Amino acid sequence: MAESWATFGVDLHLELAGKRVRAGLETALRDAVRTGRLRPGSELPSSRVLAVDLGIARNTVSEAYAQLVAEGWLTARRGSGTRVTSRDPASAPSTSPPSDTAAPSRPRFDLRAGTPDLASFPRTGWLAASRRALHSAPNHALGYADPRGSRALRRALAEYLARARGVQADPELIVICSGFTQGLGLLCRVLRSRGASRLAVEAYGLPVHREVAESTGLALEPVPVDTDGVMVDRAGDADAMLVTPAHQFPLGVALGPDRRHEAVAWARDGARLVIEDDYDGEFRYDRQPVGALQALAPDHVVYAGSVSKSLAPGLRLGWLVVPPHLIEDVATAKRLADVHSSTLDQLALAEFITSGAYDHHVRRSRLAYRRRRDRLAGELQQHAPHVRITGIAAGLHALLELPLDCTERDVVTRAARQGIAVEGLETYNRGQDAHVPALVVGYSAPAQHAFTGAIARLCAVLNN
């Protein structure tokens, strides 16, 4: 054989100090265990491999291992090699931060909006799609690729979005990004480079989206929202507008038909851009689906979506359907940001969509979330009738309007004491006039087995 088997094994970085090699090796190994760099149960290289790596005699390594086994630092068993002793955690050196800087513990029940039921992620189906995609992917697919993203995924999305959301989607005009947050940042940078200075935003919305826009140098113009959605006539002469027309976040209203046409006219008349965040458009219950605003003016509306609500935010996969005059600039911005998104994840999603598994998962999730919504509404009606629930015809969250003598912060604080994480409407308010006290309650995040307990505790808090 041209290579010795001794050249293969686990890597271990050690720096030997002093002239006595064996003593230096023993000290380096003790320090690695003591500081936690080698954790209990960690496997060490064989004496032959470590000797080759360090350029020392094998007997020296064997003797050092034997000494540390005798001292209790290591254990050696025939057939399982040499490992760091699995000590009682109480006697192990602590690597945790001091208690005053420790991260806060997770709430027992998380009713904040924005996260789906992660326990329902289709692991088996996704794994199967990933295997098929990887098996059939040509070698060149694993290299640097088109910053717009995998053509296979762009084709799959063009077909799906046209069919399910009414989007006019050409694969050549789709840019795959790492979720909507990155997509918004790309668009804002492009707008800024083209001379834009002001972005109109709904007065209620996610703070992180405002932060992303402001970080690019755009000034924000909050636009009031009422029962028909964003009041487009109050957008003024901003250069672009960010909207959630299918299900306004967090109020839960849909942009009315007249307002939809106003938004298109506003964009066309001033050569402006509308950014449509369709964050949960696939989940609707008591109404017909609201089609994409983009279909009314593809040259003036960017359609943005992601799998953060339909699958899991951890996938970090989103997309922009961009007007032709912006595609080159947006693709360049994506290339400069991170070259392109993970090709393997894109290929897996393409396979997941084209196989029909995505549609199946969305339909199953829609039914599960509708049952949760109905359960939430029913429990509130029975146990907290003084609370008005709105915004529940679609989506994954509800708006709970509290009596006027309540304060959001008091209710949120009481909920936290009961292990419930929930947010008040004030968290999302920027520029809107004073509103009635309300909670924004996400009913999708708790695992199914925990949902009943979460709602029971919430009702108890609301009745205090």
Query: What is the distance between the alpha carbons of residues 417 and 109, in angstroms, rounded to a whole number?
Result: 11
Examine the domain organization and report whether 144 and 254 are in the same domain. Answer: yes
Per the listing, tokens 């064989």 go with 46
For residue 1, being part of any structural domain is answered with no
Is residue 149 predicted with pLDDT exceeding 90? yes
pLDDT digits (tens, 9 = 90+) for 5-60: 444 567 888 888 888 899 999 999 999 999 889 999 899 999 999 999 899 999 99
Q: What is the CATH number of the domain that holds 255?
A: 3.40.640.10
Please give the tally of structural domains in the chain: 3
Q: What is the CATH number of the domain that holds 74?
A: 1.10.10.10
Examine the domain organization and report whether 174 and 268 are in the same domain. Answer: yes
Whole-number percent of the chain with pLDDT over 70? 94
- Name the band, by pLDDT with cuts 50, 70 and 90, for residue 95: very low
Comparing 261-275, 283-297, 369-383, 412-426, the range with the smallest average pLDDT is 283-297
Q: What is the pLDDT of residue 106?
A: 77
Examine the domain organization and report whether 157 and 302 are in the same domain. Answer: yes
For residue 281, being part of any structural domain is answered with yes
For residue 7, being part of any structural domain is answered with no
pLDDT digits (tens, 9 = 90+) for 257-266: 999 999 999 9
For residue 394, being part of any structural domain is answered with yes
Q: What is the CATH number of the domain that holds 375?
A: 3.90.1150.10
For residue 398, being part of any structural domain is answered with yes
Examine the domain organization and report whether 268 and 187 are in the same domain. Answer: yes
| Sheet strands side by side (includes 438-442) | 388-390, 397-401, 438-442, 423-424
pLDDT digits (tens, 9 = 90+) for 12-21: 888 888 888 9
For residue 32, being part of any structural domain is answered with yes
Q: How many CB atoms lie within 10 A of CB 137?
A: 17
Query: Of 326, 359, 392, which marks where a domain is finished?
Result: 359
- Name the band, by pLDDT with cuts 50, 70 and 90, for residue 410: very high
pLDDT digits (tens, 9 = 90+) for 419-434: 999 999 999 998 777 8
The boundaries of the domain holding residue 392 are 109-115+360-462
pLDDT digits (tens, 9 = 90+) for 314-334: 999 999 999 999 999 999 999
Q: What is the pLDDT of residue 8?
A: 59
Is residue 100 predicted with pLDDT exceeding 50? no
Query: What is the distance between the alpha carbons of residues 401 and 399, in angstroms, rounded to a whole number?
Result: 6
Alpha-carbon Rg for the chain in angstroms: 28
Is residue 340 predicted with pLDDT exceeding 70? yes
Examine the domain organization and report whether 57 and 163 are in the same domain. Answer: no
Query: Of 359, 383, 415, which marks where a domain is finished?
Result: 359
Examine the domain organization and report whether 152 and 256 are in the same domain. Answer: yes
Examine the domain organization and report whether 70 and 207 are in the same domain. Answer: no
Q: What is the pLDDT of residue 233?
A: 96
